[in-house]
Structure 1
Amino acid sequence: MAEQADPQWVRSGWGHRVESQDEAYRAVMRIVSLAPHRRYVWRGCTSSRLRVRSGLLRELVVDEADPLPDELLVRQNELAILRAARAWGPGTGPAATDLDLLAHLQQHGLPTRLLDVTDNPMTGLWFACEGGDDVSGVLLALDVTGLPTYPTTDPRQGSGGPAEPPARSLRQALRRSALDARPFLVRPAVPSARMAAQEGLFLSGVVPAFAPQCGVDGLPLRLGTPPGREKLAVLFGERQRRAGRPTRLPLCALVVPPGLKATIRNHLTALNRRRSVLYPDVEGFRDAYRGDHVDLDLDAVRPVVSAHDDVDAGEP
């Protein structure tokens, strides 16, 4: 199987390599303050060499040398997964919309067309530095100003009005995405504890008929000309705002060198960005325990009395 093509964020003109934690934080603030009334979502990845793909698209890629799966193939597999999930009964209820079920499956690690993003850049930065300290990470900022946002539940449910068929919400979102050639956002109406802690939502859209731009596959993004390395360097430099910075930034990739990850990760604890906060559920504790991220303090539970000698336990 061919190796996935490196997005080469910096060389492509869409990215900037940060050299210190101060520069990383400064870059985030310069992005959000570049222009008024812009909205960004963020996605952190521990490896800057991986292309941005949804779980379903990634699963359908058999060989990197072949063309990417098209919308028809993605949709066929998506409907098959939804049908199988409804037959299995994953706990969302028979009235759950397809968007609701997709979000539920995505949160439990199933392959969907949804892409996890967050409203909080510090959360995205933590994910960029979460692990893989031998490879550069990347924090992606995507301008989503004006994109439609769909709730995972039908707002007419419980209001007395007729609810839409479960499949309608996703079909309409995809049709609008195809007509407008733009992605859309999906926000869980009742977020899980993990989604709430991560301030998470989803970015998705129809698989475009045109070739992917930069390192993002399977989303209808028309980004235009990249800002270029020189303009990004001006934007993120230590000096005050000056001429030469980009006027718009539809996408930007902040590449974090391997040697900087642990430093940023440790300092993000001051902003309450740590594993136990971002993964507050049982699955999070399980994965942290299996990944040696939980330090068991045996001294804190001593003295220990064996059940054979525990006469003070009382009669069972």
Structure 2
Amino acid sequence: MLKDEEHHEHVSALPSIAKITQATPNLMAISPNMTHQLLDTIQKTPEISNNLRLISTPLKTSTSAIQTFLEQQEKALKTISNLSSSTILSSIKPIQDSLRDALAKFDFAHYDEKYLNVYSGISQVLKQYEETQSNLQKYYRSITPSYFHSSNESPHYYSPEMTSPSDFFDSKSGRIESIEDLNNAILLLQKHVSNIPLYWRGQNNASWGLHSKLFRLLMTQNGVVSPQQKPKTKQPYPTEDQMIQAEKQILNLARQDWRYGNMSALEIFARIQHFGGPTRLLDASCNPYIAAWFAVYDPTHEHEDHDARLFALAGYASGNNEQPDYSEELLSRDPFWFNLHDYEQRAAANWGTGSRRIVWRPPEYESRIAAQNAVFILDGIPITNSRILQYFRKPTGKEYWKRPDILAASSIYAKPFSPNHNARPNQRNLAPTYSFVIAKKAKKEIRSYLEGAFGYRESFIYPDFAGLASKTNNIQFPNLGDLQ
């Protein structure tokens, strides 16, 4: 097992092309420009000896190889995939070989300053490539051998400490007991993570896990018993393969029976989600106060005597520059994750590793999407093995949560971070998850404030006929005796 300090700078999951591009700007940007400049110098300097012109062919070969390499990366990014270590390193090799060939053709009997400047320029480009190759080799050695070559998805027992998802989140949670606490919590967290976008989600009951509806449905189908019931048996939580098969059934039903064959998978899922159907999408909002409304809104009063929870999910880990735009891939006919068939492929696409959350802002298919400032959060079912679980310590700090503990808490990787501290990069590149427990006594006050200050009520959040129909199901109609 690698020690933390041995891979602190490199570990994130399998290396993404975006991260490699970010880490090696000289390779990706300077070198192609420099080789083009060197070729221009050769072509525009007739006084340079003919020997110098001999290097133009290997330089052109280098430029072509660079262009091919960049195109491979661009294609990989567009398909949310990765080039393997062997592919990347083998792509660099012909560039290095042609540059070395160019240097070998120099005639040092010629001491023209421009001539030597060209030699120096080629040497500099070659040095950049050699440094990049060395860094990539070190990077791959530190990550690929054992992080994701396997995953333990077999049923397992809960830890003794896992009696509720609250046990997983609460040691890092903030607490809200008034509208003033809510305002301060939002302002303070946004200050601490000002460089990272946050997506908010409210839940009526603080003891609920952060689960998609499809995941919950499959939990029930599999016979999973919640930790609150203290089962003594192993728990068969849904796997990524099971989720994909369920999604394929949903798409077949939508396209064959309902004839929505012209829609992308994500559009179908989004529409199903907004009308209460099961998908892997997690509803969230860019607006923390709308999420707070969902946390305290309880038309049946079933959870009025329970604390609520407000989640804030970061779009990516601290230290990353920006959230990639995957809108084109997400709107394809079939989801890209249908083509990820094993742990290594999923890890290479950062699907289920916790290092990337896909945040999708859907078009306004329904009026409630705009009203709720809605986004969807997507990720694969967590890939778990002993090397990953070591980053999920129990509050005691002595042991780690097990796979069923993590899945009882969330259907995606949701490592809790304290909202009281500035966001910092972490070794696993995990996107932070923050949460606040809203005290049950504060629910009514917060509801009244949100309605009075922002007009947040059912007709605002659900401004369509589906919302109206749902409301009529909860109306207290007059009794016959009241009419007499």
Name the structure 2 match of 1:313.
none
Name the structure 2 match of 1:20.
178
Contact 1:149–1:187, Cα closer than 8 Å, also in 2: no
Name the structure 2 match of 1:272.
455
1:1-316 equivalences under 5 Å are 5-8=163-166, 12-61=170-219, 62-64=223-225, 65-89=234-258, 93-131=260-298, 132-145=303-316, 146-151=322-327, 166-169=333-336, 171=338, 175=346, 176-178=349-351, 181=354, 182-210=356-384, 211=403, 213=406, 216-221=409-414, 223=415, 226-227=417-418, 235=420, 245-248=421-424, 250-269=432-451, 270-292=453-475
> What SS does the corresponding residue of 2:351 show, helix, strand or coil?
helix
Query: How many angstroms does 1:217 deviate by?
Result: 2.0
Task: Give the TM-score, by structure 1 length.
Answer: 0.74
Contact 1:97–1:152, Cα closer than 8 Å, also in 2: no
Residues 1:113 and 1:168: Cα distance change in structure 2 (over 3 Å): closer
Residues 1:293 and 1:167: Cα distance change in structure 2 (over 3 Å): farther
Q: Which amino acid aligns with 1:291?
A: N
Deviations 1:70-102 (A, max 9, x none): 101111111111111212216xx4221111111
Residues 1:86 and 1:124: Cα distance change in structure 2 (over 3 Å): same
CA distance in 1, matches of 2:454, 2:406: 33
Contact 2:200–2:311, Cα closer than 8 Å, also in 1: yes
Instruction: Name the Cα RMSD after superposition.
Output: 3.1
Query: How many angstroms does 1:142 deviate by?
Result: 0.8
Give runs of ≥4 in structure 1 deviating > 6 Å: 152-155
CA distance in 1, matches of 2:172, 2:368: 30
Deviations 1:170-189 (A, max 9, x none): 54799534286433122212
Deviations 1:277-302 (A, max 9, x none): 0010111112122223899xxxxxxx
Q: Which amino acid aligns with 2:376?
A: F
> What SS does the corresponding residue of 1:178 show, helix, strand or coil?
coil
Deviations 1:243-276 (A, max 9, x none): xx44449222111111110110011011222211
Unpaired stretches in structure 2, ≥5 consecutive residues: 1-156, 226-233, 317-321, 385-402, 425-430, 479-484
% identical aligned pairs: 25
Contact 2:169–2:435, Cα closer than 8 Å, also in 1: no
Contact 1:54–1:218, Cα closer than 8 Å, also in 2: yes
Structure with the higher strand share, 1 or 2: 1
Structure with the higher helix share, 1 or 2: 2
Question: Which has the higher Rg, Structure 1 or Structure 2?
Answer: 2
CA distance in 1, matches of 2:325, 2:266: 12
How many residue pairs get aligned? The number is 266
User: RCO greater where, 1 or 2, for CA within 8 Å and sep 6 or more?
Assistant: 1
Task: Give the TM-score, by structure 2 length.
Answer: 0.50
